[in-house]
């Protein structure tokens, strides 16, 4: 019973977050992990700047993506991990581009 309630609550909060505008994602853990495992000198601040740029693109384009894509991509990129704005943006762009390819046929 508790599992079902948690699943329902998680589904509702992630849907609400994705529909209310660009959701807040804590990129700190992902940036620290990327910096720790990267030998190419990408530091945490560089990662944070990159994520801030991806978030700005999302802010400007958020309403152009269908709600189903926003919800699906948010769930996909944050389930089991904090997620990143870059992952969220990539997911949304890939879904948009795939739909555009299908529509051209």
- Two structure tokens written together for 73: 């991509």
Give yes or no for residue 11 having a pLDDT over 60: no
- Two structure tokens written together for 40: 């190419």
C-alpha 50/C-alpha 30 separation (Å) is 12
Burial class (CB in 10 A: 0-12, 13-18, 19+), 1: exposed
| 76-101 pLDDT per residue, tens | 999 999 999 999 999 999 999 999 99
C-alpha 46/C-alpha 44 separation (Å) is 5
| 40-70 pLDDT per residue, tens | 656 888 999 999 999 999 999 999 999 999 9
Half-sphere exposure of 21 (CA within 13 A, CB side): 5
Give yes or no for residue 16 having a pLDDT over 90: no
- Domain layout of the chain by residue ranges: 2-104
Query: The whole model's pTM is what?
Result: 0.77
C-alpha 103/C-alpha 105 separation (Å) is 5
């Amino acid at each position: 019973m508790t599992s079902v309630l948690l699943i329902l609550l998680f589904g509702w909060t992630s849907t609400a977050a994705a529909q209310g505008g660009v959701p807040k994602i804590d990129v700190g853990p992902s940036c620290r992990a990327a910096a720790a495992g990267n030998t190419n000198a990408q530091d945490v601040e560089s990662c944070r700047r990159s994520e801030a740029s991806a978030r700005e693109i999302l802010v400007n384009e958020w309403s152009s993506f269908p709600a189903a894509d926003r919800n699906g991509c948010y769930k996909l990129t944050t389930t089991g991990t904090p997620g990143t704005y870059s992952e969220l943006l990539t997911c949304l762009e890939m879904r948009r581009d795939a739909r555009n390819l299908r529509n051209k046929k």
